[in-house]
């Protein structure tokens, strides 16, 4: 499976990654806040991830790493 | 596993002081990515303005100079004339450039300074708390236009990419935005082209980026992206206004 | 020393600056400073110089800041109205530690004023001028030779302390012609470890900023600046003493006016009044040490300036209000004659 990692402490909850993910099922907002007080995005289900990198490309914080299983 | 995307190595560990959803973060990241891809980190001198990106010198492992409000093109002139082989990037916001520093940017263009200007236009003063900029749209509500911007008092918005393209010293001028994955790709291509022209010793390369300011606009980040499509691009059309590299082909 | 030539003050300074390895000049025309940019423009092709006529003094000063940030020698020249515009950048360069040289050919203000010799910018140059707690070294030449000598000195001091240095001439020194000898050209120095000229193989990256990161950090930053200024005050006070040993009255004057005082002193001595001169060379740091050795002597001070009384306050501080300090100044661009100064001196100390 591919892997999406969000740096929880860097995220400022803009939701761009959630909104632009073509699958819509991979990322969700956390139910707990980070140190800055935001509900960060987190990768919850990698089943449908195609490692397109869009979530990372729209992230203003550079908080997302995307890895493809080859 | 192969890495599809990771945070650019040129970034320091410093957390960015931008608000959530701010376009500066995306634009900073694109500059970092391009410098890495094009092997320009070693040659770069980034010149930052006063405004929300005033701390950006802390985000990059490159040489950085934080200039005074509006003066980045003058400082950039000194740096580029002193180090013509370097990649000199003059990064300015709309308050910084179009108000305080209108003389500096115009004359950098008139002289055809051979550096790249990345102009971040979010049509508002972000850092000082959401006041009107010369780029503020008609009827836009800001803290200093509480009833909306009216032309009889403040005149009309200023279209910098078009104005700069009219100067002989300008080699390349394009307006882009960062409100969608496709537009972010186009922004990256535009900045990359501007850097390429600079490294080839061409004249001023100017990229205006329409950028979301959810805090200043008092909307949610996703609404800010939509507002760029629905409203901002009506005043500030996207596109290439001058590309002497294309004309030469 | 090399050639001896008969030359105008501003041109002599420009020539000396070029020989000091200053390859970058940015400026905006203003009387009485314009011969400096003109000289740079003329010499640019043959000497490999960069000359830009900037759109404003604001830009010119910031271009100098840009060159200084890359570790190379750059300068501008202006007069009071332009220096006022440049004060923003003076505050910036001082805070950022950018070594630069700025010539202020003083002319009488306020505002547009006149264009002849004046010393009305004393307070502006020595007390800051721009915002915040900063100081710049200020050198005041009294002859064309000294004006030229200050070019290499100014760059050396600027680099030694990483601080802007102002050379404060005036309409008289800038425009007059005298014999002048120039030093040999110095070879350009290598890269500076702190400068922002691109990493280009350096083992670290550099960051020049004047944006504070919280009150504690910014207070510390300010205290570092202050300790630099203390060091400059200790090391760099410069002055000249003329016939002070037996003097009952000490004239304190700097720059062009100190030349007039020489003749006034001679007239006074011919008439049996023992007069000497203290000529401050650095206006900041003010040469308080010059006054220390007269603390226990029975001397009076006669301060004369081409302004309404600016340096006189520093003299009063230097003598701790223990001595009689009288002042005489002329305004508007008028330089008093030696006889006028002598008569005034007699009147004040009869």
DSSP state of A46: -
Q: Give the position of tokens 């503020």.
A: B136
3-state secondary structure B153-217: HHCCCCCHHHHHHCCCCEEEEEEEECCCHHHHHHHHHHHHHHHHHHHCCCCEEEEEEECCCHHHH
pLDDT for the residue A70: 83
Mean pLDDT within C141-161: 98
Report the run of H or E that residue C291 belongs to, with start and end: helix C289-292
Residues of chain B with pLDDT under 70: 248-249
CATH of B23-244, picked from 3.40.50.970, 3.30.70.1380, 3.40.50.300, 3.50.50.60, is: 3.40.50.970
* Closest residue, chain B, to C26 (C-alpha): B78
pLDDT for the residue B51: 95
Report the run of H or E that residue B90 belongs to, with start and end: strand B87-93
pLDDT for the residue C189: 86
Residue spans of the domains in chain C: they are: 4-199+224-235, 241-348
3-state helix vs strand vs coil in chain A, percent to 5? 15, 20, 65
Same fold? C4-199+224-235, C241-348: yes
Residues with Cβ within 8 Å of B28's Cβ and at least 6 positions away in sequence, in order, are: B16, B53, B56, B59, B60
The yes/no answer on whether domain C4-199+224-235 falls in CATH 3.40.50.970 is yes
What percent of chain C is modeled with pLDDT above 70?
Answer: 99
Mean pLDDT within C168-189: 94
Contact B119, B206 (CB under 8 A): yes
For A20-35, what is each residue's pLDDT tens digit?
999 999 999 999 999 9
Q: Which domains does chain A have, with CATH numbers?
A: 3-67 (3.30.70.20)
Instruction: Note whether B24 contacts A: Cβ–Cβ < 8 A.
Output: yes
Average pLDDT taken over every residue of chain C: 97
C1 has pLDDT over 60: no
**pLDDT tier for residue C97 given thresholds of 50, 70 and 90:** very high
List of chain C residues whose C-beta atoms are within 8 Å of the C-beta of residue B47: 66
CB contact under 8 A, C69 and B57: no
Question: Concatenated DSSP letters for C109-152?
Answer: -STT---S---TTHHHHHS-SSSSS---EEE--SSHHHHHHHHH
List of chain B residues whose C-beta atoms are within 8 Å of the C-beta of residue C65: 67, 71, 74-75, 78
pLDDT for the residue C188: 82
CA B63 to chain centroid: 18
Instruction: Note whether A53 contacts B: Cβ–Cβ < 8 A.
Output: yes
Q: Which two tokens stand for residue C233?
A: 């005050």
Instruction: Note whether C217 contacts B: Cβ–Cβ < 8 A.
Output: no
Whole-model pTM over 0.90: yes
CATH of C241-348, picked from 3.40.50.2300, 3.30.210.10, 3.40.50.300, 3.40.50.920, is: 3.40.50.920
DSSP state of B95: I
Count of beta carbons in the 10 Å neighbourhood of residue C300: 16
CB contact under 8 A, A56 and B4: yes
C2 has pLDDT over 70: no
**Of B49, B211, B207, residue with least CA distance to B123:** B211
C45 has pLDDT over 70: yes
Residue spans of the domains in chain B: they are: 23-244
Q: Which two tokens stand for residue C156?
A: 């050396």
CA C166 to CA C3: how far, in whole Å? 26
Please state whether beta strands C300-305 and C325-329 pair in parallel, antiparallel, or not at all (unpaired).
parallel
CB contact under 8 A, B63 and C207: yes
List of chain B residues whose C-beta atoms are within 8 Å of the C-beta of residue C62: 67-68, 71, 74-75, 78, 104
For C179-191, what is each residue's pLDDT tens digit?
999 989 998 889 9
In a structure prediction context, what are the per-residue pLDDT tens digits for chain A, which is 70 residues long? 999 999 999 999 999 999 999 999 999 999 999 999 999 999 999 999 999 999 999 999 999 999 999 8
């Amino acid at each position: 499976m591919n892997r999406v990692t969000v740096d929880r402490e860097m995220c400022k909850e803009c939701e761009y990654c959630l909104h632009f993910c073509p699958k819509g099922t991979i990322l969700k907002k956390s139910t707990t806040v980070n140190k800055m007080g935001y509900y960060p995005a987190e990768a919850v289900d990698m089943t449908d991830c195609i490692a397109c990198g869009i979530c990372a490309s729209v992230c203003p914080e550079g908080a997302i790493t995307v890895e493809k299983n080859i | 596993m192969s890495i599809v995307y990771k945070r650019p190595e040129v970034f320091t560990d410093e957390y960015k002081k931008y608000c959530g959803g701010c376009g500066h973060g995306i634009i900073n990241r694109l500059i970092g990515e391009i410098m890495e891809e094009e092997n320009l980190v070693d040659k770069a001198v980034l010149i930052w303005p006063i405004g929300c990106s005033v701390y950006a010198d802390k985000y990059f492992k490159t040489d950085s100079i934080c200039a005074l409000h509006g003066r980045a093109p003058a400082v950039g002139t000194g740096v580029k004339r002193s180090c013509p082989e370097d990649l000199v990037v003059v990064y300015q916001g709309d308050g910084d450039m179009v108000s305080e520093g209108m003389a500096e940017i115009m004359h950098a263009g008139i002289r055809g300074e051979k550096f790249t200007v990345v102009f971040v236009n979010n049509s508002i003063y972000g850092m000082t708390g959401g006041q009107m900029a010369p780029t503020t749209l008609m009827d836009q509500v800001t803290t200093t236009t509480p009833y909306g911007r009216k032309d009889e008092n403040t005149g009309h918005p200023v279209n910098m990419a078009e104005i700069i393209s009219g100067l002989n010293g300008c080699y390349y001028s394009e307006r882009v935005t960062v409100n969608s994955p496709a537009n972010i790709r186009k922004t990256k291509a535009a900045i990359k082209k501007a850097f390429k022209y600079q490294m080839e010793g061409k004249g001023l390369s100017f990229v205006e980026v329409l950028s979301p300011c959810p805090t200043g606009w008092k909307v949610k980040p996703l609404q800010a992206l939509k507002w760029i499509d629905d409203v901002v691009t009506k005043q500030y059309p996207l596109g290439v206004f001058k590309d002497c590299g294309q004309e030469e082909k | 020393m090399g050639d001896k030539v008969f030359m105008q003050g501003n041109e002599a300074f420009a020539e000396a600056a070029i020989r000091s390895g200053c390859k970058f000049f940015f400026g905006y025309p203003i009387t009485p400073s314009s011969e400096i940019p003109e000289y740079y423009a003329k010499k640019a092709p043959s000497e490999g110089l960069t000359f830009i006529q900037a759109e404003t003094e604001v830009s010119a000063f910031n271009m100098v800041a840009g060159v200084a940030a890359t570790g190379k020698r750059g300068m501008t020249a202006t007069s009071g109205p332009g220096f006022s515009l440049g004060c923003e950048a003076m505050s910036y360069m001082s805070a950022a530690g950018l070594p630069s040289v700025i010539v202020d050919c003083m002319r009488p203000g306020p505002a547009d004023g006149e264009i002849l010799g004046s010393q009305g910018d004393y307070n502006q140059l020595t007390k800051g001028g721009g915002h915040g707690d900063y100081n710049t070294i200020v050198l005041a030449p009294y002859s064309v030779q000294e004006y030229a000598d200050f070019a290499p000195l100014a760059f050396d001091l600027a680099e030694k302390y990483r601080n802007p240095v102002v050379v404060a001439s005036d309409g008289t020194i800038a425009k007059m012609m005298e014999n002048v000898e120039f030093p040999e050209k110095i070879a350009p120095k290598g890269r500076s470890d702190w400068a922002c000229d691109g990493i280009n193989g350096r083992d670290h990256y550099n960051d020049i900023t004047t944006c504070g990161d919280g009150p504690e950090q910014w207070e510390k930053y300010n205290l570092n600046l202050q300790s630099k200024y203390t060091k400059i005050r200790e090391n760099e006070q410069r002055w000249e003493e003329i016939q002070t040993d037996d003097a009952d009255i000490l004239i304190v004057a700097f720059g062009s006016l100190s030349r007039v005082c020489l003749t006034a002193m001679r007239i006074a001595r011919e008439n049996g009044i023992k007069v000497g001169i203290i000529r401050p060379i650095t206006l900041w740091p003010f040469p308080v040490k010059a006054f220390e050795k007269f603390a226990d002597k029975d001397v009076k001070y006669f301060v004369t300036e081409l302004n309404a009384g600016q340096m006189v306050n520093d003299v009063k501080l230097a003598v701790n209000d223990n001595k009689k300090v009288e002042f005489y100044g002329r305004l508007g661009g008028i330089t008093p004659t030696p006889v006028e100064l002598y008569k005034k001196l007699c009147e004040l100390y009869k």
